[in-house]
Structure 1
């Protein structure tokens, strides 16, 4: 029985990996489920056994990228013991992770269009905003930041970073310089929260 669960999980992860390549390369509309299952060595029926439809498969791909970016942010934040540096490092890692070339199309373009705004926001909250909120909550308890609304801080900072990511993604030839410019502004915004 355990072997079947492992094989099932391997099949699901393989489908997500292959679908990610197809959605990134061809976009949601032009990605063919037939080509995805063929490359995976499966049938359409096997795909539908794990994912209800193409949109369900796309959601799994989107979530896997969100999770990767979240892990990248967490690792960057954990590289320091100082709460303020953790916040700065996490913000920068979010910008870097979201604009990676193999993430941009799915996270920034296809995600909102395919999944709809409500699902997109739920995923953003689950994988990004919750981590930001936890960090801000911890900093508030440590008396590092001002005693203002945690919800408002989280939403405003998240919105600023999401908008910065969209702006950076459109600067095709100079992304690293643009990330640095955005981080200067984000650091100034954050300074306004410091006690």
Structure 2
């Protein structure tokens, strides 16, 4: 019986996160109410409050889900490059840009994330996902001698900031070839580090 309740709670949680994600992605956090989320998920407000402390807490779960998806795309792209750390680094960086330029991902992760949670909390969530992978990649590059010894943390913040800004711009521009142009500039910046 306890296993059934756990499964039901997980289904309810998943439904709330999925429906909130879809609504936040299309209209933004500020334009979506809890009543609309619970109706879309087919649950009651009581069920929502059993899972989350409120709308902001639900948004945290949505943001984590979005960032986990981006991180998974980065890792998959990097792992597909075999044992070449530079190829892994560049493939992962490009995968980040591609995944982050999805307008739904950009809105939740890069626009609403800092606005809803505040810069400090958003940054901590980002560092625990994509930021962690970036630091690990840079540490590997330094350890293998691809990059000269240097402090990795500041470099990770600089590159992460550049990639987040690029992703924000790419998510809203309709310029043909924008991704390729941004990627060429980012790759040139990264190549200068070698």
Give the corresponding residue for 2:186: 186
- Counterpart CA distance in 2 for 1:179 and 1:12 is 35
- Counterpart CA distance in 2 for 1:24 and 1:167 is 17
Give the corresponding residue for 1:120: 122
SS at match of 1:144: coil
- Counterpart CA distance in 2 for 1:193 and 1:31 is 43
1:130-183 per-residue CA deviation (whole Å, 9 max, x = no partner) reads 101111111111111111111122111111111111221231353xx1121111
Would you say how many aligned residue pairs link Structure 1 and Structure 2?
A: 192
Give the corresponding residue for 2:49: 48
SS at match of 2:28: helix
TM-score by length of structure 1 reads 0.93
1:9-56 per-residue CA deviation (whole Å, 9 max, x = no partner) reads 121111100111111222212212112112222111110111101111
Unaligned regions of 5+ residues in structure 2, if any?
A: none
Matched, 1:63 2:64: yes
- The two structures, once aligned, show a CA RMSD in angstroms of 1.3
- Counterpart CA distance in 2 for 1:170 and 1:41 is 32
Matched, 1:146 2:142: no
TM-score by length of structure 2 reads 0.94
